[in-house]
Amino acid sequence: MPTLRAFFLATAFLGLTVLSAPIQWLSIRLGISLQKTYPHAYHAFLCRLFGIKIRVIGEPVKDRGVLLVANHTSYFDILVMSATVPVSFVAKLEVKSWPLFGLMSKLQRSIFVDRSKRSEAAKAAVEIRERLKAGDTLVLFPEGTTSDGNRILPFKSALMGAVESEIGTDAEGHVEYVPVQPVSISYIGFYGMPLGRENRPFYAWYGDMELAAHVWEAFRTGPLDVVVEFHQPLRVSAECGRKQIALQAENLIRAGQMRALRGDWGIAEAALAAAQAAAQPAE
């Protein structure tokens, strides 16, 4: 049965991708809004097909451009984030040449960064700023690589240079910077059972794991439960640059992952409710 399941999912995934690619390509060429919404619908369908159940805590920033910074465990992060909210990704340049996944990244209007060249990274920061000014939601993984899903790796502040970009002024004439919202992605269960440390490598893709073999094994393993927690946005200012923002985001995301792995939903949801209540104007 596991092999049959994997074969069915692989066939359905390839078939849907072959049908979807021309639609998305044409949407980009025509510059219509479908170029943003179609990948969201595509990945949401894939999550249902694969049996990925997503529990969302908090609310993503809407109605304006925002840089979502998240921990990175697996290629499943792409499906999960895109199924949760319409996004594009900031990816390393090597992804562009990957078979199939590179094509999917380009069709999702990803921004590719050559991290080996500082000048290219600076160009990418300009593109990120312009996309955010245009109202796009971009996802950045500041760890710079994937982890085993049991911990958060140190964030590389150099990858967050775009957060120091000015994007305009507010109604009072104050300078506005790129808005940043930390997001915790935590893989917590499969087949409705807790996903222990020993089983997390079935879904976490890291180190020297071979991609195709890992995808096949993940398809064989079964449905997956994921928690996505949107934390309160961080305020960027002239006094609080990329290093401080990277550290704050890292700490928030690490705390969110720890809560999710422990199953402490109530703590996160109560904290969110308290924050929302405090933000409401007094009657």
Domain span including residue 249: 2-276
How far, in whole angstroms, is CA 230 from its chain's centroid? 11
CB 94 within 8 A of CB 102: no
Our CA dihedral for 144, 149, 150, 156, rounded to 10 degrees, sits at: 10
The verdict on residue 194 lying in a domain is: yes
Q: Which of 133, 166, 139 is nearest to 70 (CA)?
A: 139
Residue 59 in domain = yes
pTM of the model: 0.86
With CA atoms as reference, report the closest residue to 226 among 59, 74, 92, 101.
Answer: 74
- 267 within a domain of the structure (yes/no): yes
- Confirm whether 282 is domain-assigned: no
Q: For residue 237, is it within any domain?
A: yes
The Cα diameter of the chain in Å comes to 63
Q: Is residue 39 domain-resident?
A: yes
Beta carbons within 8 Å of 122's beta carbon, 6+ residues apart: 161
What is the Cα–Cα distance from 236 to 56, expressed in whole angstroms?
A: 25
**Tally of domains in the chain:** 1
Does residue 47 sit within a domain?
A: yes
Q: Is residue 172 part of a domain?
A: yes
User: 151 and 204 in contact (C-beta within 8 Å)?
Assistant: no
pLDDT tens, per residue, the chain with 283 residues: 788 989 999 999 999 999 999 999 999 999 999 999 999 999 999 999 999 999 999 999 988 889 999 999 988 999 999 999 999 999 888 888 887 888 889 999 999 888 776 666 677 778 888 888 888 999 999 988 888 888 889 998 877 777 776 666 666 667 777 789 999 999 998 877 788 777 777 788 887 788 888 888 888 887 889 999 999 999 877 677 788 889 999 999 999 999 998 887 666 666 666 665 665 555 4
Distance separating alpha carbons of residues 257 and 272, to the nearest angstrom:
15
